[in-house]
Amino acid sequence: MYYDYLDSPIGRMVLVGDGASLVQVGLPDSRRPLAIAAGWRRDAAPLATARLQFEAYFDGGLTAFDLALAPRGSDFQCRVWAALCEIPYGTTISYGELAKRIGNPNASRAVGLANGANPLAIVVPCHRVIGANGSLTGYGGGLPAKEFLLELERRHVAAVPFALS
């Protein structure tokens, strides 16, 4: 495994890859900080594409990541993470709505747990899931980071001019 650090507007992130895919993204101020495992090698080269895409995202020039991903989780978690990737840039949905989208409308709590276990924060946009009443609820990187990411996306969506037909 390879890792490198990325200084971002929300703080220093850790990118982890296996040489072919992005495996984990560690956020600053995380409730469960990403520990660098023995045997991992710090090397920016295998993570260069991910770094460029994160930089473009934070600059407002990228609305969807195009990276090989290799998250590790249960089948249920992977279904939730796939559904997260379908949430459009600059929009939010509730945990209940996400549960409906995966075909299990009574699984809001389980969806929340899977959301919290997302190893690919920002790329798999778990920050776009909010409480049913519109409130910002839990985020592994802290609520200030979640608020920043949502505002970043809203600001760039609002800045895109509409084409006249």
- Between CA 58 and CA 33 the distance in angstroms is 21
Whether 82 and 24 map to the same domain: the answer is no
Whether 93 and 138 map to the same domain: the answer is yes
- Is the CB of residue 131 less than 8 Å from the CB of residue 97? no
**Residue 42 CA neighbour count, 13 Å, CB half:** 6
Q: What is the CATH number of the domain that holds 127?
A: 1.10.10.10
Residue 63 scores a pLDDT above 60: yes
pLDDT band at 161; cut points 50, 70, 90: low
How far apart, in Å, do the first and last CA atoms of the chain sit? 49
Q: What average pLDDT does this structure show over 155-165?
A: 62
- Is the CB of residue 130 less than 8 Å from the CB of residue 114? no
pLDDT band at 165; cut points 50, 70, 90: very low
Whether 46 and 88 map to the same domain: the answer is no
Residue 114 scores a pLDDT above 50: yes
Respond yes or no: is residue 126 known to be catalytic: yes
The pTM score is: 0.89
3-state SS class at 13: strand
Where are the alpha helices (H) located in 6-163, listed in sequence order?
Answer: 48-59, 75-84, 95-101, 108-116, 143-159
Query: What per-residue confidence (pLDDT) applies to 60?
Result: 92
* Size (the chain), residues: 165
Whether 143 and 107 map to the same domain: the answer is yes
Q: What is the CATH number of the domain that holds 35?
A: 3.30.160
**Helix axis angle, 108-116 relative to 75-84, nearest 10°?**
80
Q: How many independent structural domains does the chain possess?
A: 2
Residue 157 scores a pLDDT above 80: no
Please give the residue range of the domain that contains residue 26: 2-59
In sign, the C-alpha dihedral spanning 24, 109, 136, 152 is positive
The model's pLDDT over 132-152, given as tens digits with 9 standing for 90+, comes to 888 788 787 888 999 999 999
Residue 32 scores a pLDDT above 90: no
Whether 146 and 91 map to the same domain: the answer is yes
Residue 30 scores a pLDDT above 70: yes
66 belongs to a structural domain: no
Residue 47 scores a pLDDT above 50: yes
Whether 54 and 90 map to the same domain: the answer is no
The model's pLDDT over 71-102, given as tens digits with 9 standing for 90+, comes to 999 999 999 999 999 999 999 999 999 999 99
Catalytic entry in 6, 10, 83, 126: 126
- The better pLDDT of the pair 28, 122 is held by 122
Where residue 19 falls (left for φ over 0; alpha for ψ -120 to 50; beta otherwise) is left
